[in-house]
Chain A
Amino acid sequence: MNTDITVDTKGMACPMPIVKAKKALDSLQTGQVMEVLSTDKGSVKDFQAWVKQTNHELIQHVEEDGVYKFYVRKVYKISGTRKGPLISPRHIR
């Protein structure tokens, strides 16, 4: 897979994998792909939740020899911090 940046967080504990990934993603252009390497098992659920929340695209995540690899495509540029929850589907009529 063609990636534009690799963020190596091997050996780092939560919250560092997401902190590093977020910083790297902020530096990318829309459409570019980031690869994140992590050895923290807890990062699997956190990455899925984080990518979903920030509306980027988790293209794939794989595990190889205890290393979790996440591939995230930047979908749009984040502007500031989102406040409050998005409207949940059940409120859409």
Chain B
Amino acid sequence: MTAGELTKIVLNKEELFILDVRNQSDFDDWKIEGESVEIINIPYFDLLDSVDQALEQIPSDKRLLVVCAKEGSSKFVAEQLVEAGRTNVSYLEGGMKSWSEHLEPVKIGDLKDGGSLYQFVRIGKGCLSYMVISSSEAAVIDTFRMTDVFERFAREQGATIKHTLDTHLHADHISGGRKLAEQTGATYWLPPKDATEVTFPYEKLEEGRDITVGKTKIKIQPIYSPGHTVGSTSFIVDDEYLLTGDILFIESIGRPDLAGKAEDWVGDLRNTLYNRYKGLAQDLIVLPAHFGKVTELGEGGRVMARLSDLYRDNPGLNIQDEETFRRTVTVNLPPQPNAYQEIRQTNMGKITPNEDEQREMEIGPNRCAVHDK
């Protein structure tokens, strides 16, 4: 089974039983989730002599997927299970590595001039990218490292990528924004306050510098919204969509500690969430750069919600006491994303790991939200 086929199963909420044969610490850290997915963990080295232990725990009437880090040991175990008489068994091609890298494009909606907005769901890692397409031009927001996916998609839509934008200097994944811009001749935009140490040229993403995509000026209006990082910038697209980066998610809010400045930035975060966004049109559709739980995936995998609904339902927007808010976003936060400091260095251009190293750095969940424990 490929990561793409597994994605369809998860999004369609089809039943699947997963036997994850990685070691327990990796499994506890990060695993495949889905509303109709049942999963157990037995390390492959416990199944080398005999798979009896696994057979006892796997229901015989369900479709079975064996999963490991890369592919080898899941294939090995799946073969043993078939030999032992199990049917309807597959292994995940490319393992958790390919699960981490799979992107599923879903259409969010049409734009007023006939263009469209797409969301790219990186389902294994909980990250989201966007593409605004209008009159044969495209802008990509919070691009992933797998830039070929965006290039191919734009080509299929008959569009040329003109702009790549990062809402902030990411700490959980390596940005493909600069690389995609270099490959396509597009302009790369980054908030200047997050770019003080970068080693490459970029355009300053600042309030007041609207970006147009297509002939009819689809407006990408930057809103300075610090808190996750000092430069964090949101966008309003087509007066209808609010792209919040890592500041506001569907069921949580951004964490302010990934650049080591939780105490300094907690005030900014509160101001952005409780004042700045309050002043925007409340019927804007919020499109974040992450989801934390599979329950945030809506129809077809879309991650979106009305701003007014978030002010009603999101616990992070309903902490009235400032001191409680400060404690919530600075104390007892989830563990930081894997290799987050090296990822920041990479995104600044200070270090240049090879592709395998980059892949390794990104393994694991995104952990950019306060409430994802």
Contact B360 A41 (CB under 8 A): yes
Using CB atoms, name the residue of chain A closest to B97. Answer: A42
Report how many residues on chain B are interfacial, defined by Cβ distance under 8 Å. 20
Q: Is the CB of B49 within 8 A of A15?
A: no
Q: If the complex has contacts A22-B45, A49-B45, A82-B46, are A15 and B76 also in contact, measured as CB distance less than 8 A?
A: yes
A14 within 8 A of B: yes
Q: Using CB atoms, name the residue of chain A closest to B51.
A: A81
41-86 of chain B: CB within 8 A of chain A? 43-46, 48-50, 52-53, 68-70, 72-73, 76
Task: Summarize B's interface: helix, strand, loop or mixed.
Answer: helix
Which residue from B26, B46, B69, B72 sits with its C-beta under 8 Å from A16? B72
> What residue in chain B is nearest A45 (Cβ atoms)?
B23
A81, B70: Cβ atoms under 8 Å?
A: no
- A14-B68, A81-B52, A81-B53 given as contacts; is B45 within 8 A of A50 (CB)? yes
Most buried by A among B45, B49, B68, B360: B45
Tell which of A14, A18, A22, A83 touches B53, judged by Cβ atoms closer than 8 Å: A83
* Interface status of A53 (Cβ within 8 A of chain B): yes
Please report which residues of chain A, range 12-30, place their CB below 8 angstroms from some CB of chain B when the two chains form the complex.
Answer: 13-16, 18-19, 22
Q: Is A4 an interface residue (CB 8 A)?
A: no
A17 → chain B closest CB, angstroms:
10
Contact A81 B50 (CB under 8 A): yes
User: Is A63's CB within 8 Å of the partner chain B?
Assistant: no
Residue of A nearest to B45 (CB): A50
- Report how many residues on chain A are interfacial, defined by Cβ distance under 8 Å: 20
The total of interchain contacts (Cβ-Cβ below 8 angstroms) comes to 53
With A13-B70, A42-B69, A45-B23: A18-B52 Cβ-Cβ less than 8 Å: no
Q: How far is the CA of A82 from the CA of B69 in the complex (A)?
A: 24
B50 cross-chain contacts in A, Cβ below 8 A: 81
Nearest CB of B to A88, in Å: 12
- Chain A proximity mask over B20-55: 1 for CB below 8 Å, otherwise 0: 000111100000000000000001111011101100
Beyond A18-B44, A46-B45, 14 extra complex contacts between A and B, CB < 8 Å: A13-B70, A14-B44, A18-B45, A19-B48, A22-B45, A41-B360, A42-B69, A45-B23, A49-B25, A53-B45, A81-B46, A81-B50, A81-B52, A82-B46
Which residue numbers of B lie inside 8 Å of A, CB to CB? 23-26, 43-46, 48-50, 52-53, 68-70, 72-73, 76, 360
24 pairs from A and B in contact (CB 8 Å cutoff): A14-B44, A14-B69, A14-B70, A14-B72, A15-B73, A15-B76, A18-B44, A18-B45, A19-B76, A22-B45, A22-B48, A42-B69, A42-B70, A45-B23, A46-B23, A46-B45, A50-B23, A53-B43, A53-B45, A81-B46, A81-B49, A82-B46, A83-B52, A83-B53
